[in-house]
Amino acid sequence: MLKSHTCGELRAEHIGQEVKLAGWVNRRRDYGSLVFVDLRDRWGVTQVVVDAGRSPEAKETVARIGHEYVLQIEGEVVARSPESVNDKLATGEIEIQARQVRILNPAKTPPFEISGDIEPGEETRMRWRYLDLRRERMQRNIILRHNAIWFIRRYLNERGFVEIETPILFKSTPEGARDYLVPSRVHPGKFYALPQSPQQLKQLLMVAGYEKYFQIARCFRDEDQRGDRQPEFTQLDMEMSFVERDDVLDLIESLMTAMIEEVSGRGVAKKPFPRLSYAEVIDRFGTDRPDIRFGLELTDIGKIVARSDFKVFTSTIEVGNKVRAIVAPNCAGYSRKDIADLEEIVKDAGAKGLATIAVQEDGTPKSSIAKFFADDLMQELIAAVGASPGDLILMVADVPSVVNEALSALRTEFGKRLNLVANGDLSFCWVIDFPLFEWNADEDRWDPSHHMFTSPKPEHVALLDTDPGKVLSQQYDLVCNGYEVAGGSIRIHDRNVQEKIFALIGLDVEQAKERFGHMLEAFEYGAPPHGGIAPGIDRLVMLMAGEPNIREVIAFPKSQRAADLMAGAPSEVDQQQLDDLHIKLADDIKPD
């Protein structure tokens, strides 16, 4: 080894020892005949002193080095004088008196500072990602990710789970997200698809009798990016046989809690995780992934405003739509401009407008719509939404989905503005009892709201024939701080039920056989009742790291346009490669 210790481990107890350290030059402070070098590796920083008087040769070498040179230092661990102890460094009690300095490799001046306060821009970071990854922030995140994955593997192994790899080259199914396709050389005109998730394969592993399966699985979806979405991402994919919904929920809940507390040092706000029905979270928060770190819940005020003279509200109620409100505490003083900003948010969500009532300190309302309300009706409204003097009531009238989306967006905004999300805790909740289907008006059929193997609640199976929209499923989502961090379900293992689902979602028997024949066939050979879940590793690590997007916890992420700015992927390929794959580019594709 070129090093006897890491740059983070030497303490007072090592004083007097001869050591070899190796790492990168974090910083150099040059006094001419006395030079300090902060040597860095992933474990920390150790100060090296090069004294021209004691080791002229080392001084000669160290005069030539710059930032990020790779050095090997040989010398003695010595105590620092009491006034020069650096308590910002774990190794600050000691320093290395260098006897010899070897340049293992010089370094060009890096395009940005590896240690320092200047945060390089996104493009710069991605272009030199290997240097970005050298920075403390990224090393901390990547190692946190490692610890989380390591924790998961140990935890599940101890509970009888088997990690099984599934193919990356698999079969395309047009349902769901757009597939990444891989052309076949030996089958002209045919394509593999990269898995959107190992969904089918893990169910087949249940048929195969493994009972408890997991995989740290890479998943691929060719859809547009968000801060919490990358074209390839990692799931903790799991499936279990002979389980019921609560078995899955309980296991994941204890896994999440233990992992977060051990690995991230953060707290879990609510234990046990609240279990809320889909209907309840939509009603209370306007979204199926509520941030339950704070209140500001939605109130339905339809019954009250129906008795006002405000036409916008009364006509909305008459046609069966909704008027709902949230209360922003202590925001009665908002200016016209502040309100206009909020209005922008609800308009983005599709709402036509935003009505507000400022409850003044004396309890009287200040509002452009106050004149449409009798005084006692106004007081009834203020009481119904639970507003106090100094509060601002915000109301939206529209179809339910627009009202909910608009108010949910406002709620999120106020969570940030009012600093209700400041503490570092993670706040989980389960969302259960989802509708099995969503009506697809364009195609005039039902779409599965999760996926087509999701089991209805047993007591709702009969409704499949009479009122599919009312059927609730055994789907469950895990939500944390407003992010969906896991989703899963108990699956269908009954062939009759499965065929009913196919029919309702508009798949005829032939199509179903073509796409899922292997699944249907497998289910005839003794499929156990089973269910599973797939937590998103990237999002969980992002939340544990306190980062604003998942790029910060992925070593080599892609840009918004799905490009690798370091390697330059995707790229053109040789004509020969295209020929091998039987691919001819369309005429309108021009080379760059």
Write down the least CB distance from residue 155 to RNA, Å: 24
| Cα dihedral sign, 288-314-470-501 | negative
Write down the least CB distance from residue 550 to RNA, Å: 9
Cβ neighbors of 407 (< 8 A, separation 6 or more) are: 286, 298, 324, 325, 326, 346, 394, 396
Minimum CB distance to RNA smaller for 34 or for 312: 34
Rounded to an integer, what distance in angstroms lies between the CA atom of residue 508 and that of residue 467?
20
- The residues facing 86 across adjacent strands are none
Minimum CB distance to RNA smaller for 15 or for 85: 85
Minimum CB distance to RNA smaller for 88 or for 371: 88
Classified as helix, coil or strand, 510 is helix
Write down the least CB distance from residue 222 to RNA, Å: 9
Burial letters 528-564, b for 16+ CB under 10 A, else e: ebbbbbbbbbbbbbbbbbebebbbbbbeebbeeebee
Q: Which residues bind RNA (CB under 7 A)?
A: 27, 29-34, 36, 38, 47, 49, 51-53, 66-67, 80-81, 83-86, 88-89, 92, 95, 109, 111-113, 116-124, 126, 175-178, 196-197, 199, 221, 223-227, 229, 348, 447-452, 549, 551, 559-561, 563, 565
Write down the least CB distance from residue 144 to RNA, Å: 19
Classified as helix, coil or strand, 437 is strand
Write down the least CB distance from residue 464 to RNA, Å: 17
Write down the least CB distance from residue 64 to RNA, Å: 9
Minimum CB distance to RNA smaller for 205 or for 369: 205
Write down the least CB distance from residue 105 to RNA, Å: 16
Pairing label, strands 322-328, 445-448 = unpaired
Classified as helix, coil or strand, 151 is helix
Place of tokens 């944390």: 480
Place of tokens 């320092």: 116
Rounded to an integer, what distance in angstroms lies between the CA atom of residue 194 and that of residue 176?
13
Write down the least CB distance from residue 181 to RNA, Å: 16
CB-CB contact of 545 with 144 (8 Å): yes
Write down the least CB distance from residue 121 to RNA, Å: 3
Minimum CB distance to RNA smaller for 53 or for 591: 53
Cβ neighbors of 510 (< 8 A, separation 6 or more) are: none
CA distance from start to end of the chain:
47
Minimum CB distance to RNA smaller for 160 or for 568: 568
Minimum CB distance to RNA smaller for 295 or for 350: 350
Burial letters 488-504, b for 16+ CB under 10 A, else e: bbbbbbeeeebebbbeb
Q: In what order do the strands lie in the sheet with 428-432?
A: 162-163, 212-220, 232-241, 530-535, 483-490, 475-480, 428-432, 275-277
Nearest CA among 351, 362, 358, 341 for reference residue 394: 358
Write down the least CB distance from residue 419 to RNA, Å: 19
Minimum CB distance to RNA smaller for 132 or for 391: 132
Minimum CB distance to RNA smaller for 338 or for 484: 484
Minimum CB distance to RNA smaller for 297 or for 447: 447
Pairing label, strands 392-398, 322-328 = antiparallel
